[in-house]
Amino acid sequence: MFKRNRPLHYGIKTLVLQEAYRLMHLKQVTLHPLLKLFAISPCLKVLQTATRLMECQRGTTQSGSFFALVAQARATNEPLFDISIQGTQIYTLKPGWTTQDDQAFTEAQVFLMDRTVSICFHSTGHGDPAILSIEILQIDGKAYYFGSNWSQEIILRTVKRLSCGFGQSKFGVDYGADPLGGDRFWQHTKTFGQDSDQQRSVESRIKKTSLAPNFYPETLYRSALVSTSSQPDLSYTLDVDPNKNYSIWLHFAEIDNSVHSIGQRVFDIMINGDVAFRDVDIVKLSGDRFTALVLNKTVPVNGRSLAITLRPKEGSLATITAIEILEVIVPESKTLSDEVMALQRLKKDLGLPPRFGWNGDPCVPQQHPWIGVDCQLDKSSGNWVIDGLGLDNQGLKGFLPKDISRLHNLQIINLSGNSIGGAIPSSLGTVTTLQVLDLSYNVFNGSIPDSLGQLTSLKRLNLNGNFLSGMVPATLGGRLLHRASFNFTDNSGLCGVPGLPTCGPHLSAGAKVGIGLGAFFTFLLLITCSVCWCKRRKNIIRAQQIAARAAPYAQKRTHFSRDIQMTRHSNNYGNSHTAAENGPILLGG
């Protein structure tokens, strides 16, 4: 896995099955072998229905990308859910989508600035999201360039893509399209209205097709719709979401044998009653017959319908080959990455259950923020920040990580009524914006960090109902008279403020550590001395026992030696003997 120096343009496509309400086995989507596929991720995960529940599939690409999303679901009651890409909601499945081919999937085009893409499926309370697979396809970096307002920041979502005249609905691979154009789905339409048009088709090859950056397939231009003399206007109307911008791409090729030269077919193109293109002459603009022509116009739409009308000049008829309508979506601002990582660490250490979701971006799309997370847009940076955590009475366990201090903009933390244990992290004292800290009715232990006294904006502090001990920091106890509401009750080991037991001589943490170490070494010295004394006493006792056993023998030796000496002295006063004579007698005795 590597990261490129520049972002790439990718396409997303999604297919929809019809089986929800149970987990389904993963399934691989068969793609044309020429399709340049960077990633395909089957994800048939069915979500449990819950308020604002969402499932996020995070895919990894080899660089920035444009992709196609595939989602399908078979169910008696079709599921309805929202889809977001990179934190921006792009689509909401509408009732009846299971009966319409082009609504059984959705397409979007986006630049990825790094090697990851976040795709989320948000439950709306109407069944569980069911996704068959996700396709990520690289396309040309200038695909669907629509002028000065185009940028790598925008997302283009396919609203409608029509092929007109003879044929049937097809994906790009079925047209033999270039993979760099993406595997686009073209829904076929035989008519815009009863008796309003007629079909045309040819087998002749069409020129100027499959060209960069959009790589439209050549066979797309071999059929068309032509208006009639009784109804010369050719009109197509589509229901759309109001107050949005739409990029409209109109495709033409002069394939009618009755038109041979410039000026024989001229018409105006109107969008919602306004002239978008005047005096369109296909042969003139394309340069020849059987030659592709593509016109583009991006317009704002305030109402709920988009009407495209081709109005021919006197004596001619209008014609069209294909229509593409793309919604221009400005992506939402992201949440600061450092705060997202802090929340992910909190999720892990508190053991948040899957029902919380907590995937993707915590603040966007704004329709689906993370459960228990409050967000605020920081106007100075243009990013979302976390200003509140409300996870009270959620059955949480684990401990509170020191990384919670990375949420620098927190004003409220409410984790009451859970089973969170361990020590209260001293790093909380660096979150200077904190106004409410409620950790009541958990299983926190240890002492209250002195650093909490640095929270000068703190108005309410609830630490009651835990297993805390020691003296309440003086910096907190002294602020009880300044309209602050602090609760330290139901902690049997706490002391030092009104309502709690009086503390004895208060020692600092360093002093307590010193006393503990001194006691330990004193105990160790006593043990060592005791062992030495015991060994010495055993040696003395052993020596006494040996001496006692040797006493009778020593006494006899003493008496015997004395008798010999007395005998020798008596002989000196009698007859004299030589040493040689006396020696054997002494030896024998």
Report the CATH number at residue 288.
Answer: 2.60.120.430
DSSP states along 297-315: EEEEE-SSEEEEEEEEPTT
The predicted pLDDT at position 190 comes to 94
* Domain membership of residue 444 as a residue range: 337-509
What CATH number is attached to the domain comprising 374? 3.80.10.10
Closest CA to 41 of 108, 129, 118: 118
**25 in the same domain as 51:** yes
| Residue that finishes a domain, picked among 493, 509, 525 | 509
**343 in the same domain as 267:** no
| pTM attached to this predicted model | 0.73
The predicted pLDDT at position 39 comes to 39
The predicted pLDDT at position 372 comes to 96
Structure tokens at 95: 């009732």
Q: How far is CA 462 from CA 372, 483, 539, in A?
A: 19, 14, 65
Dist CA 90 CA 67 (whole Å): 13
Name residues whose C-beta falls within 8 Å of residue 538's C-beta, 6 or more positions apart in sequence. none
Tell whether 525 is covered by a domain: no
List per-residue pLDDT tens for the chain, 589 residues long. 223 344 556 565 544 432 222 222 222 333 333 333 333 343 333 332 222 334 455 443 322 223 334 444 444 577 888 988 888 999 888 888 777 777 777 888 988 877 677 888 888 888 777 777 777 888 888 999 999 999 989 999 999 999 999 999 998 889 999 888 888 889 999 999 888 899 999 999 999 999 999 999 999 999 999 999 999 999 999 999 999 999 999 999 999 999 999 999 999 999 999 999 999 999 999 999 999 999 999 999 999 999 999 999 988 999 999 999 999 999 999 999 999 999 999 999 999 998 888 988 999 999 999 999 999 999 999 999 999 999 999 999 999 999 999 999 999 999 999 999 999 999 999 999 999 999 999 999 999 999 999 998 999 999 999 999 999 998 886 665 467 789 999 998 999 888 888 887 654 555 456 667 777 777 888 888 888 878 877 777 777 777 666 556 555 555 555 555 555 554 444 444 443 444 443 333 3
**116 in the same domain as 216:** no
Burial class (CB in 10 A: 0-12, 13-18, 19+), 550: exposed
**282 in the same domain as 172:** yes
**349 in the same domain as 287:** no
Tell whether 569 is covered by a domain: no
**26 in the same domain as 73:** yes
Please count the other Cβ atoms lying within 10 Å of the Cβ belonging to residue 337. 10
The predicted pLDDT at position 548 comes to 67
The predicted pLDDT at position 154 comes to 92
Q: Which stretch of DSSP H or E encloses residue 586?
A: helix 579-588
Give the pairing of strands 155-164 and 185-189: parallel
DSSP states along 133-175: EEEEEEE-TTTT--STT--TT-EEEEEEEEEESSS--EEHHHH
**473 in the same domain as 358:** yes
Please count the other Cβ atoms lying within 10 Å of the Cβ belonging to residue 483. 7
Name residues whose C-beta falls within 8 Å of residue 388's C-beta, 6 or more positions apart in sequence. 373, 374, 410, 411, 412, 413
Dist CA 185 CA 201 (whole Å): 20
Tell whether 575 is covered by a domain: no
Closest CA to 407 of 381, 369, 433: 433
The predicted pLDDT at position 81 comes to 86
**343 in the same domain as 245:** no
Query: Where are the strands (E) in 274-372, listed by range?
Result: 274-280, 293-301, 305-312, 319-320, 322-329
Please count the other Cβ atoms lying within 10 Å of the Cβ belonging to residue 302. 8
Structure tokens at 462: 């609830």
**18 in the same domain as 79:** yes
Q: How far is CA 495 from CA 438, 458, 473, in A?
A: 19, 21, 10
Tell whether 519 is covered by a domain: no
**496 in the same domain as 350:** yes
The CA-to-CA distance between both ends of the chain, in Å, stands at 105
Tell whether 515 is covered by a domain: no
Tell whether 580 is covered by a domain: no
Q: How many CA atoms lie within 13 A of 331 on its CB side?
A: 22
**273 in the same domain as 348:** no
| Residue that finishes a domain, picked among 509, 538, 573 | 509
Task: Enumerate the β-bridge partners of residue 267.
Answer: 280, 312
Dist CA 378 CA 376 (whole Å): 6
Tell whether 556 is covered by a domain: no
Dist CA 185 CA 12 (whole Å): 11
Structure tokens at 289: 């017959």
For the chain, the 3-state helix, strand and coil shares in percent, each to the nearest 5, are: 25, 30, 45
The predicted pLDDT at position 1 comes to 25
Query: What is the residue type of 197?
Result: D
Tell whether 82 is covered by a domain: yes
| Residue that finishes a domain, picked among 509, 544, 576 | 509
Q: How many domains does the chain have?
A: 3
Q: Which residue has the tokens 């309003």?
A: 196
**103 in the same domain as 16:** yes
